[in-house]
Amino acid sequence: MNAVTFLILYAVALSWLAPALLHSSLAAELPPRLSVAGWLVTVGTALSAWMGALGILIVGSAKSLITNTALTFCVGTLGITNAVLLPRTAATVLVVALLTVTAAVAVETTRRVILALGRTRRSNRDHVEAVQIIGRPTDHDGVVAVSADRPTAYCVTGGRRSAIVVTTAALDLLTPAGLAAVLAHERAHLRGRHHHIIATLNALAAALPRLPLMRAAACSVPPLLEMCADDAASRRHGRAPLLTSLVALSTRHRLPEGALAAAGTAVVERAVRLTGTAPQYGHWPRAAALALLAATALTAPTVAVLLCTL
């Protein structure tokens, strides 16, 4: 098996099998940060495998055409070692077609991802500018109050500018301790750059809609990031104020695209999690197993390519 074949098969296996593994009992009850890391490592490794295979095909095809070794490259790519059955003209045509298709796939996928990220960034930037115009500053650094009848709090970032937005209804509803917990939750989102993670995963899911891994990651990671922000707020202000605020803010309302709200995602799951006993993350066997799988996923393509090129 050559490097291209291995990388393609490996990327396919990750794209179709990894979501089931990451949703299995192995990943259950792990800290949300570790689960997020597992998803991101898997997505990054799958993308690297796809890109590696495409890169090898593009570079190899172009080099074979320049050096007039299309036949050798063609049979090598197909894994044929015992016999050469293709005429030289057919091999050249096949290499040209392969180069055209792979280059087109790479360019189109990159274009879709860049356009999706650009749209999200522009939308968020416009929203930050709008709330800073219509809102009023508060006593809390970086927090803008906007007049609205529905209580909500969220953060949004576009480029180098970001803002935490709290409606006047939320300010009237929340206690000082509850408001502090909500603001800590939103600051955890900004500090962890959760917006960029979600925007990237959404762009990949839109650009590669037929890959189950990308769709699953775009759906599964945002609730985990909310739990990460909950943990950060709970460590600083306690679980009770955050839980009280979460319940108070959990009304049905539509938030701006790209915003992360304290009560906007996986509310029931987070409330149940906060009402339970303190999370016990002593499941070292599970954590070690997931870490081992992640390390294997990262190193397997590199090792395979090195072995194939020896």
Integer CA distances (angstroms), 84 to 2, 8, 64, 93, 304, in order: 16, 23, 16, 16, 25
pLDDT, tens digit, 9 for 90 and up, residues 273-308: 777 654 454 455 555 665 666 666 666 666 555 555
> According to the 3-state scheme, what is the secondary structure of 271-284?
HHHHHCCCCCCCCH
What pLDDT is recorded for position 252?
47
Q: Does pLDDT of 251 surpass 70?
A: no
Beta bridge partners of 137: 144
pTM: 0.79
- For residues 182 and 154, the answer to whether their CB atoms sit within 8 Å is no
Token pair listed for 192: 């962890």
Q: Which amino acid is at 193?
A: R
d(CA 179, CA 153): 9
The lowest-confidence range among 58-62, 213-217, 235-239, 294-298 is: 294-298
- Categorize the per-residue pLDDT at 253 as very low, low, confident or very high, splitting at 50, 70 and 90: very low
d(CA 236, CA 138): 21
Q: Does pLDDT of 219 surpass 90?
A: yes
DSSP letter assigned to residue 152: -
Domain of residue 14: give its range: 3-309
Which are the contacts of 22, defined by CB distance < 8 A and separation ≥ 6?
35, 38, 39, 42, 216, 220
- For residues 301 and 45, the answer to whether their CB atoms sit within 8 Å is yes
The better pLDDT of the pair 256, 141 is held by: 141
pLDDT, tens digit, 9 for 90 and up, residues 60-94: 777 777 776 665 666 556 555 554 555 667 667 77
Q: Which residue has the tokens 């192995």?
A: 26
How many domains are contained in the chain? 1
Beta bridge partners of 194: none
**Coil/strand/helix, residue 53:** helix
Q: Which amino acid is at 256?
A: P
Which are the contacts of 68, defined by CB distance < 8 A and separation ≥ 6?
none
Mean pLDDT, residues 150-163 taken together: 88
d(CA 209, CA 299): 26
Q: Which amino acid is at 264?
A: G
d(CA 18, CA 300): 15
What pLDDT is recorded for position 255?
47
Q: Which amino acid is at 92?
A: T
d(CA 116, CA 123): 11
- For residues 7 and 263, the answer to whether their CB atoms sit within 8 Å is no
